[in-house]
Structure 1
Amino acid sequence: MSTVQGRLRIAIQKSGRLSERSLDLIRDAGLKWVKGANDLLYKVENYPIDLLRVRDDDIPTFVADGVCDLGIVGENVLEEDKNGGSHAEVVMPLGFGRCTLKLAVPPTMTYAGPRSLAGLRIATSYPKILQRYLDDQGIGAEIVTMRGAVEVAPRLKLAAAICDLVSTGATLEANGLIAKETVLQSQAVLIKSPTPPEPALQHLLDSIVERMAGVVSSQGAKYVMLNAPRSALDAITAILPGAGAPTVMPLMGRDDAVAVHAVCQEAVFWETLEKLKAAGASAILVLPIEKMM
């Protein structure tokens, strides 16, 4: 498989927990995709871009080798893929697909920290990440590589402990395991090929990256508008969550009051509004932000 002249390619997961969210991000960035003749390739109608839908394990390789210009993949998959050779460049975290790679043990094990695993067998689908962790901790243990159902390994006596992805912890609990150490915090990331695209496509690639950054920046962000006494500005600015310097405008016919507009990068809760009101704010309005650049 090679790149198609005159077109960019973006690699995304064909199925799995990142698939739909990746398509949502691409759509929110203004790309109108349609299914192609097969499920592997989606065409973008309004730009010379193809979406290549593949196994998540293949995405880092496709991007690193220049088969695709961009890719969306979990950090856990990207880290496991690192084994010499060229690597894809991480452009930015995307804020979805969060999970944690954890060491977990049965409740019957006497556990007093990672060194309790020395000399034991640990089952995992991420042997390279686990090996790096064990090396960093100075722990010698045998790694048993499994491609699925890692959580059953202790029950089947295949291993004394496991290292697996945890989202809610429900799967571990159902299999009688207790999460202990965090090996890796993971989320979806946008990656870029070390091989630049055709010169005529560079501006398009930069534009797509900037749009995606705008979509990510607007996730959870709120636009807050309120009126306040001038004397309360410092207190109100301190309460606004994740806001930079707000825009302050005089209110017509009132020298002692102003209108305050601010972009809040953090969640705005009811408690936040109550604090703002107690500080002297009035006519508080909180609006969602669809796009931000």
Structure 2
Amino acid sequence: MSARDRLRIAIQKSGRLSDASLDLLARCGLTFRRSRDKLFCFGETLAVDLLLVRDDDVPNMIAEGVCDLGIVGRNVLDEQFLAAGCAGQPAGFRELRALGFGRCRLALAVPQEFQYVEPAQLGGKRIATTYPNLLAKWLERAGVDAGIVSLSGSVEIAPRLGTADFICDLVSSGATLAANQLKEAAVVLESEAVLAAGATLPGDERGELIDMLLRRIDGVIQVRASKLVMWHSPRSALEEITRLLPNGPRPTVTSIEGLENEVAVQAICNEAITWQHLEDMKRAGARQMLVLPVEQMLA
């Protein structure tokens, strides 16, 4: 392949999504060799290279064709998508897959003494945020006319400085809000890391690589909570035991030599298996139960 036939993926060079993005790609079987400036990673196992950039730059790099895919927070992607629409331009990028990590929420926060009940209370107030387009969309849907104060950082101190009455910012644990005498009042957007792509996917070798990568990503996401459950039981108890498992998966059943009514069973569960599940299965007749992690899965 020529250099540009290689698939390029932009990810955050540092921050809360960086390590998790690299881990996801490693679990998909990709290994990389970093350049000396640590801004480019050459793919060693597949023709897939990484660009390490600021998360705010990922959507535009996709739109401009500098890279083919990117891993970025939905909050960043949707904010820039709305910004492009406000400017009368096509965004040139879209969400391709939710990736299940980096979960947080863009939330409205108010002073702790303020008794928030409904969005109508925001009318005529000033709200500071680094996500003015997402906030404006939410306010429009709620039918509220409020002032939006766009800030590039330190949003949480705006009420204390008198530059805004409330804020709209990313919230994870809520500790930062509490430290600034604020409390969460309403969720504007549920966010997580997403795989972003251009408006149209490449029709050459890169498109084939994207299809393969998506299959692997789907497999990685599926096995995160998946467990292999194994047990022995009477054949007559099999239906009841299986029904106790999350989602009631169809098990693989093997006869045990020399024991006519005894079977060895294994089933893949795509949800967590708790101690209560095992206790219930034991009462239904299961024995010698094992719960094992699933490392890889490809449908």
Question: Shared fold (TM-score greater than 0.5)?
Answer: yes
Which residues in structure 2 correspond to 1:200-239 (within 5 Å)? 200-239=205-244
Out of 225-234 and 14-23, give the one that drifted further. Answer: 225-234
- Residues 45-97 of structure 1: CA distance to partner in whole angstroms, max 9, x if unpaired? 12222101111111112223322111111111111111231342322211100
Question: How many angstroms does 1:198 deviate by?
Answer: 5.6
Pick aligned residue for 1:134 from 131, 139, 144: 139
> 2 CA distance for matches of 1:79 and 1:86?
10
Unaligned runs of 5+ in 2: none
Which residues in structure 2 correspond to 1:127-166 (within 5 Å)? 127-166=132-171
> 1 CA distance for matches of 2:206 and 2:155?
43
Partner of 2:67: 68
TM score, norm. by length of structure 1: 0.94
Out of 9-18 and 59-68, give the one that drifted further. Answer: 59-68
TM score, norm. by length of structure 2: 0.92
Out of 182-191 and 194-203, give the one that drifted further. Answer: 194-203
Unaligned runs of 5+ in 1: none
Same amino acid, percent of matched pairs: 49
| Aligned residues: CA RMSD | 1.6
Question: How many angstroms does 1:128 deviate by?
Answer: 0.6
1:171 has 2:176 as partner: yes
Q: Is the 8 A contact 1:6 1:198 kept in 2?
A: no
Q: Is the 8 A contact 1:243 1:265 kept in 2?
A: no
> 1 CA distance for matches of 2:93 and 2:285?
51
Query: What one-letter code is carried by the residue in structure 2 that aligns with 1:10?
Result: I
Question: How many angstroms does 1:4 deviate by?
Answer: 4.5
Q: What is the number of residues matched between the two proteins?
A: 291
Partner of 1:282: 287
Q: Is the 8 A contact 1:66 1:195 kept in 2?
A: no
Partner of 2:266: 261
Q: Indicate the SS of the match to 2:77.
A: helix
- Residues 188-207 of structure 1: CA distance to partner in whole angstroms, max 9, x if unpaired? 11122234336233322211
Which aligned segments of 4 or more residues in structure 1 are displaced greater than 6 angstroms?
Answer: none
> 2 CA distance for matches of 1:100 and 1:47?
34
- Residues 162-195 of structure 1: CA distance to partner in whole angstroms, max 9, x if unpaired? 1111111111111111101111111111122234
Q: Indicate the SS of the match to 2:213.
A: helix
Q: Indicate the SS of the match to 1:15.
A: coil
Question: How many angstroms does 1:243 deviate by?
Answer: 4.7
Question: How many angstroms does 1:6 deviate by?
Answer: 2.2
> 1 CA distance for matches of 2:7 and 2:55?
19
